[in-house]
Structure 1
Amino acid sequence: MTVKLGEEYCGEHMPSCATNSPDLSDKTLRVVCPLDRKHTCYAHKLAKHLKICNAREKESVPYIIKGINCGETILENAIDKIDKQTLRNYSVEEIKNVINKIQKLHDDVLTVEISEKILTHPLIEEEMTKPELGDKSRKHLIQTSSILGYLKEYDLIKSDTCFIEFGAGKGKLSFWMANALETVNNSIVLLIEKASLRHKMDNKLDKTNGNVQRIRADIADLVLQKVDILKNVKGIVAVTKHLCGDATDLALRCIKNYQDAGNAVCGIVMAFCCHHRCKWTEYTGKDFFSENGINRKDFDIMRGIISWATCGTGFSRDKNKEIDPDFYRNNLDSLSERDKEIGLSRHEKEVIEIITFDN
C-alpha cells in the first residue's frame, strides 16, 4: 500500500485503536477488524467494512457442503506430521528406495512415453502479435492458446455445454475461452474461485446473455450438481490452468461426484502445478499407489523429489546457455555432497521428477 500525500504511514500501518469505542471523528484512525485480526480498516468505515469483509460468515447456498470433495480424513497427529517434512528428514537410503519404486512402476506398469505437444488457437495467436506484450504476458498466452487448442482438437467446443474453470483466479483463461465460444449456441463459462479478487477479466465480457458466471467457492466444498445453471446444459467440460497442488485432486473428485449423480462429463483439460503441495489425504491416486507398494511415507518423499526439475542449476540464464547440455547429464561435481550420495546427475534427477507425478 502506498503512503498518501501528507500522511506518514500507509493505510495498513497507520496508528490503530483496539478499544471497543473508537473516536469516529478521527478520519485517520484504524481499528483491527473483529472478524479477522490479521487486517485493519478505518474506524469510521467499520460498519461498511463488516458487510463486505472477506472473513464474514458466508450465506448458506445449496451447492456448498463442507469438505465434500476432500477424500479421507486422517486425524492421527503422528501421521499428519509427515506432510510437513522435507527430503532432509529422510536418509539417502530411503530416498534411493523410493526412486527404485518409481522407476519400477514406470517400467513395469505404466510403460508409456511422456511426450510434449503444444497446440495453438488462432484467437490467441492474433493477440500475441501485439508488440507491447511482455515476456510474462506472452508466456501465459502461449499456455492459454495450447489449452484452447486441445479443446478444439478433441472436439470439445460444442453447444449446450458448460465450460468450468476450476481455480479461475482473475479469469484470464475463461476470458479467452468465452471469446472462443461466441459462435457456439447455448454455451456457458462458469468460473470457480474461493478468493475475492480485483480486476477480474470476466468483468470485461458482455454478460447480458448470461453466458459467463462466477461462483465464489472452495473446490473442496463444491457440489456441481446443485448449481442451477448446469441444469440448462447437456454436459460439462472441466478446464484448469495452474491449479495448485491438491486443488487438482479436489477438482477431479468434484467432477467425479457430478458424473456419479448421472450427469455428463464431456472432457477434462487440466494444466496443474506445485506438486509439492499435494496431500496424501486428498490425493486421488492413493489406491493405485498402494496397489504398487507406494505408501504415505513414500508419497511424502516423492513430493520432495518433484522439486528437482525446477530448483535451477545455480547459474544465471545467460550462463546456462553457454554450458553444454551434456555437462548436466554426466557431471556430478556441480551437486551437493548429499546429492552425490544419491548418485544421480542433474539431468537424471530431472527425469525422475518428470515420471514421478506426470503419469
Structure 2
Amino acid sequence: METRCKFWLPKKKRFCANVPLTPSPFCGNHTPRSDSQWIPCPIDPSHSVLEENLEGHLRRCPLLKQLESLTHQPFYQKGINAGTEEDPQELEVVTSETVEDSALAVDEPKSGELIYILSEMKRTVYGMSVPDFYRLVEKIECVHKSICKDIYESCKVPEACGMWVKREVDRTSCCLQKLPFQEKHVMQQVSILGNMEDFGLIKSFIAKERADCDDGIGYPVKDEFDYGNDVPAVVEFGAGRGYLTQMLADCYGIKRVFLVERKSYKLKADRSLRQKESLILQRLRIDIEDLNLNAVETLRGGPYVAIGKHLCGPATDLTLRCCLGEQSNQSNGQGSVNPNLRGLAIATCCHHLCQWKHYINKKYILDLGITKEEFHVIIWFTSWAVDADHGTDLPDVTDCRFHLESIEKKQCDGGDGVEGVVKNMKAVERSALGFMCKQIIDMGRLMWMKEHGLEAQFLKYVPSTISPENHLLIARSANVA
C-alpha cells in the first residue's frame, strides 16, 4: 500500500494502483494541479500542459505529427471553405433598431469564443425593450410565413433497407465491429437513403429472373446493381463512425467511399466496410473548412454524391461551399455546378452553432431585411427548438399567431421585461419559434443551391418523435435522370 498513489477511487472502492511521484503521495494523474501552472496546449487545446514544460511538449505533442502530415496533403488548403466575414453584397445594412453596445457586432468568433458570444446574445436580447422584442419576433414570423412554404413531410422506408429495418444485418460483422443498433438512428438513416433513392441520387438493387435458354428452367440470379459503368462515389461529410455509409454500402452496393471527419473515433464502421469485396474506402481526417475536394486524387474526374447526417452548425455551410464553391467551378464560371457532383443530401442540426462568417447565403438573409445582428439573435433563438417535449409530435410552426398574442398580452401586463416574457412563454411556443429560425437559416441554404443550378428540396424526413433535428436538404444536378 505504501507504494501506491493515495488517491481514493470511490467507484472501485480502493486507492489508485499507480506509483506515486516522489515526493508527492499521488501519481501523475492525481497530483493536485495549480491553475497558474497549467495552460492549454497551443496545438491541441483539448489537453493542458505545465507552463514550464511547454517548449518540450510542443516538439512531441501527439497532434503535431498528424498536423504536419496533413499540411503536406494536396487536398489541404487552409480555410478554403471558410467564407468571409463580409461579402461584397454586404454593405451598410445596419438599422437604427440595433441595440447599442451590442456584443453581437463584434468580429466573428473563433471556436473558443463561441460560448462567450452566445452568452452575450442572451444578455443583449434580455436588454431589449419588450416592444423591440415584440417587433423582432413579428419580423421572424412574417419572414418565415413568406419563405418557408415548400417544406413537406417525406418519411421513407425503402425496400432496399429492409435488412437493416428488420435487423437482419450481418451478425458476424456486427459482432466484430460492435456496431450499435439504435432504432432512432436506423430510421433516420433509412429515410435519408429512401429520399435519395426517390430523388434519383442512388438506385436500389434490382433482382432479375433469367431463364436458361437450353432447358427453359428459370432461376434467380444474385441481385445486380444497375448503374451501368457510371457508378458514383459517395463522400460522407462529418462521417463520424461511418454508419450512414455502412448502410449505404450494405443496401445500395456503392463501391467507392470517402469519409471526411476531423476527429478520431473508436468502433468505426471502417473495418466492416473494408471487408466488402471490391469496395474502395478512403478516410480523410481533415476539417471540412480546409478540404479542397477537387484535389483528392482518387476522386478526381469521377462522379460523386455528397451526404451528411446531422452536420452541426456551420459544417453544413462548409460542405456546400466545398462541393459548390468557387474552387469547384473554376472551369465552369460562377454559379455553375461541378460536373462531377451528382447531388447531395444533408441532414442539418445544431443551428445555434452557426456563424455569420461561414453562412453560405448572407445576401439572401440581408435581402429579407434581417441584419447581421438580428441573424445572431436568430441563431440564439434556434436553441429554443428543443424546449418542448418531443415525446409527441410538435404542432405546425406555420400557425404562429399565438406567439404574437402571447407576447402582446405579457407586454400589456408589464412583467419583468423581455426576460420575464421569455420565462412566461410556454415551452411549445419557444420551441415553435426556434424551429422557425432553423427553417429560415436552412431556406437560405436551399436558395443558394438553386442559384447554383441544382434542383433542390427541403423536407422533413422523420417525425420529431424520432428526432427534433429532422430536416433534410436534398439536391441533384439537372443532368441526373
The match for 1:307 among 356, 359, 383 is 383
Given the alignment of the two structures, is residue 274 of structure 1 paired with residue 283 of structure 2, yes or no?
Answer: no
**1:25 corresponds to which residue?**
none
**1:65 corresponds to which residue?**
77
**2:151 corresponds to which residue?**
114
> Structure 1 pair 34/310, CA: closer, same or farther in 2 (3 Å)?
closer
Matched residue SS, 1:174: helix
How far apart in 2 are the matches of 1:219 and 1:305?
26
The match for 1:189 among 246, 251, 257 is 257
Deviation digits for residues 13-54 of structure 1 (CA, Å, limit 9, x no counterpart): 25599xxxxxxxxxxxxxx999658268xxxxxx9xx88923
* Alignment check: 8 A CA contact 2:104 2:376 kept: no
**1:95 corresponds to which residue?**
133
* Alignment check: 8 A CA contact 1:190 1:213 kept: yes
Given the alignment of the two structures, is residue 138 of structure 1 paired with residue 207 of structure 2, yes or no?
Answer: no
**1:163 corresponds to which residue?**
234
> Structure 1 pair 79/339, CA: closer, same or farther in 2 (3 Å)?
closer
**2:455 corresponds to which residue?**
none
Given the alignment of the two structures, is residue 86 of structure 1 paired with residue 121 of structure 2, yes or no?
Answer: yes
> Structure 1 pair 77/66, CA: closer, same or farther in 2 (3 Å)?
farther
The match for 2:199 among 139, 151, 154 is 154
Note the residue ranges of structure 2 that are not aligned, 5 or more in a row: 1-8, 19-25, 34-39, 50-55, 87-102, 110-116, 172-177, 203-226, 332-337, 394-401, 444-481
How far apart in 1 are the matches of 2:314 and 2:42?
31
Computing the radius of gyration from Cα coordinates, the structure with the larger value is 2
* Alignment check: 8 A CA contact 1:178 1:212 kept: no
Paired amino acid for 2:361: G
How far apart in 2 are the matches of 1:275 and 1:293?
20
Q: How does 1:158-307 map to 2 (within 5 A)?
A: 158=227, 159-182=230-253, 187-206=255-274, 209-231=278-300, 233=302, 235-257=303-325, 259-262=328-331, 263-264=338-339, 265-307=341-383
Give percent identity, aligned residues only. 26
- 1:210 CA drift (Å): 4.7
How far apart in 1 are the matches of 2:384 and 2:42?
43
* Alignment check: 8 A CA contact 1:95 1:301 kept: no
> Structure 1 pair 344/114, CA: closer, same or farther in 2 (3 Å)?
farther
**1:354 corresponds to which residue?**
435
- 1:311 CA drift (Å): 2.0
How far apart in 1 are the matches of 2:280 and 2:347?
24
Matched residue SS, 1:301: helix
* Alignment check: 8 A CA contact 1:164 1:239 kept: yes
* Alignment check: 8 A CA contact 1:98 1:302 kept: no
* Alignment check: 8 A CA contact 2:388 2:428 kept: no
How far apart in 1 are the matches of 2:132 and 2:108?
17
CA-based RMSD of the aligned residues comes to 4.2
* Alignment check: 8 A CA contact 1:63 1:224 kept: yes
Paired amino acid for 1:269: A
Paired amino acid for 1:54: L
* Alignment check: 8 A CA contact 1:245 1:278 kept: yes
How far apart in 1 are the matches of 2:179 and 2:79?
40
How far apart in 1 are the matches of 2:265 and 2:185?
19
Count of aligned pairs between the two proteins? 321
* Alignment check: 8 A CA contact 2:257 2:279 kept: no
Deviation digits for residues 133-185 of structure 1 (CA, Å, limit 9, x no counterpart): 99981110010001110111112115431211100011111111122232x6x
> Structure 1 pair 256/36, CA: closer, same or farther in 2 (3 Å)?
closer
Paired amino acid for 1:171: G
- 1:237 CA drift (Å): 1.1
- 1:226 CA drift (Å): 0.5
- 1:238 CA drift (Å): 1.0
TM (norm. structure 1) is 0.74
How far apart in 2 are the matches of 1:52 and 1:121?
47
Paired amino acid for 1:222: L
> Structure 1 pair 165/11, CA: closer, same or farther in 2 (3 Å)?
farther
> Structure 1 pair 135/14, CA: closer, same or farther in 2 (3 Å)?
closer
How far apart in 1 are the matches of 2:187 and 2:420?
37
How far apart in 2 are the matches of 1:52 and 1:171?
27
**2:456 corresponds to which residue?**
none
* Alignment check: 8 A CA contact 1:166 1:191 kept: yes
